[in-house]
Amino acid sequence: MKRLVVVVGMVLGLWSCSGDDASPVGQYAEQCDPTTTCADGLQCIFNMCTASCTTQEECRAWSSTGICMGGTCFDSCVDTFNCPPGLVCNMVASTSGTCRVR
């Protein structure tokens, strides 16, 4: 009986340790680094979770202001107020830019 109690205790202890200790998953346009896991369909590019693309429509699936530039989705902006928290507007032309990590 004593062995059964010990085995059950060990199994419960292992089960509780394998819980929800996983790192949070980065969502679209959130900052990341090589140790960060981005959500399904995203990857850490230019230190932010984003998607590879060939068309504007692919980026619009992630964000209503998404644009495809150089094979990567970015949010378009005219100033930093248009960007998600933690990102700044990197002007690529006189009237438009893309949101990027500072």
Q: Domain span at residue 83?
A: 25-101
Percentage of the chain with pLDDT > 90? 58
The one-character DSSP state at 78 is S
Mean of the pLDDT values across residues 49-66? 96
Q: What CA–CA distance (Å, rounded) separates 7 from 15?
A: 12
Instruction: State both tokens at 38.
Output: 């981005």
Kindly state whether residue 15 falls inside one of the protein's structural domains. no
Kindly state whether residue 11 falls inside one of the protein's structural domains. no
Q: Total domain count for the chain?
A: 1
Q: Residue 13 is inside which H or E element, if any?
A: helix 2-17
Kindly state whether residue 17 falls inside one of the protein's structural domains. no
Give the confidence band of 20 by pLDDT, cuts at 50, 70, 90: low
Average pLDDT over the chain, rounded to an integer: 81
Mean of the pLDDT values across residues 10-24? 48
